[in-house]
Amino acid sequence: MTKNIMVQGTASSVGKSILTAALCRIFKEDGMKVAPFKSQNMALNSFITKDGGEMGRAQVVQAEACGLEPSVLMNPVLLKPSTDTKAQVIINGKVHSNKSAVEYHAFKPEVRQLVKEAYDKLAQGMDVIVLEGAGSPAEINLRDNDIVNMGMAEMVDAPVILVGDIDRGGVFASIVGTIQLLSEDERKRVKGVIINKFRGDVEILKPGLKQLEDITGIPVIGVIPHMRIMLEDEDSVSERLERRERTGEIDICVIKTPRMSNYTDFDVFELFPDVSLRYAAAVDEIGDPDILILPGSKNTIEDLSFMKASGMNMLITMLHQNGKAIVGICGGFQMLGEKIEDPYGVEGQEGVSTYGLGLTEMRTVMAREKVTTQVKGKITNASNLLEGLEGFDIEGYEIHMGQSTGVDEKDTITMTENGAGGISYPNLMGTYIHGIFDNTEFTRQFLNNIRKKKGLEPVETDKSFREHKEQEFAKLAAETRKNLNMEKIYEILEGK
């Protein structure tokens, strides 16, 4: 029979996702067949599986920790906010509808059975399922029809580990308050507490841990130190997005728009010692980068309007004219063109049409059907920023609602088996392909082209992104083992 354990938190961003990944890797190292499961994820960082299903990136990282191919069964419900009041609802990897928070809450009873079916299918043949909650189980206004925290734990009879973040302060109050707001049956389900992101000497913390156990009657089973683990994070709460430093020879600036999605496309740049990666949310933060990246967007027209209102569009044009490299990925690629049209109201009001940045003659029309597919192929017509990459194998995935036309054939770079994958003009590159930079050989040549423009010597890379992530998983598992009572974890798995 498949065993399970669930990681819940006192709040968002306390480290649930990374600790779930840590447990997944530990169980794998211990010879168990393990899989992650998060019934409902709200995220703009998503991934496309081999069969074209869309799921949250956090569960993809957890699947990699398990040594498994990602499956939408691991994340059957994905909510992608498109405005402040509505989100696109994706069920079992496919777009279902757009709903407000009130509409979705009323829809949850219908989703409940779908979630249970996904869990049961995933559990077949597995030794352990590590579940992850969302936000906090103490959000009492959402307790009715809950399918992601205690409601999910009850559905599959999972014991719960509660995680609190000491780095943000108030960890004891948050843990006690969370437990006090649970019902008696829910409190019985919590079998252990983990203090996460601790800095300092744990001996100083021990008196507080003893008092916490006396107050709650629940054992503290681990104090996990603050770790710098370079794995993909969950959405815009990431500390990565606050970086402003410029220490490398190549300065890469990513525009941080309100509806930015899939910023994990750029995590790979952290592997390159000659690169400084930073994010800019205002025009005066952009400066004079060597590479300016327009990222993916859940609402391209809204993010484009944000850029125009802030004056970023004029600065981008000036940087391009001054020979700086401008790169657009997915929604950012669409923004590079002359015009974006939304005849069906995919991103908002029907019939909206807006001018793009005008760096190409491309025209994009939003379509009703979303493109969700993995892609692979070879680069042809490589020039400009992609010099030296002719015939290079690349792969990634596409997630977009729009279709783009009007690009001159001589400027097209064919990057997929199905046709044009992007454009390469002087100082300009655009593509629909997410994950294109994950191939470090491709990215190293791309960066060396920038180095050449700056009069710098080319450099080589010594490891792949995959090798890097395996090293990070090993480090994560080792550090977590050292600071977590694994004997107690296994007792909880056994129902003791």
Active site residues: 330, 434
For the record, the structure tokens of 18 come out as: 């990374």
Say how far apart CA 211 and CA 132 lie, in whole Å: 27
- Give the dihedral of Cα atoms 330, 331, 336, 339; nearest 10 deg: 120
Partners of residue 220 on adjacent β-strands = 193
Among 221, 313, 271, CA closest to 460: 271
Among 359, 351, 308, CA closest to 334: 359
- DSSP class of residue 484 equals B
Burial class (CB within 10 angstroms; exposed 0-12, middle 13-18, buried 19+) of 163? buried
Say how far apart CA 245 and CA 440 lie, in whole Å: 23
In our burial notation (b when 16+ CB lie closer than 10 A, e otherwise), range 423-458 reads bbbebbbbbbbbbbbbbbebbbbbbbbbbeeeeeee
Say how far apart CA 178 and CA 322 lie, in whole Å: 54
In our burial notation (b when 16+ CB lie closer than 10 A, e otherwise), range 164-180 reads bbbeeeebbebbbebbe
Q: Are 164 and 183 within 8 A, CB to CB? A: no
Q: Are 66 and 477 within 8 A, CB to CB? A: no
- DSSP class of residue 182 equals S
Residue 201 DSSP SS3: coil
Say how far apart CA 87 and CA 73 lie, in whole Å: 20
Alpha helices by DSSP H, 386-484? 440-453, 465-483
Say how far apart CA 424 and CA 426 lie, in whole Å: 7
Which secondary structure element, helix H or strand E, spans residue 225, and what is its range? strand 220-225
Helix, strand, coil share of the chain (percent; to 5): 40, 30, 35
Q: Are 90 and 114 within 8 A, CB to CB? A: no
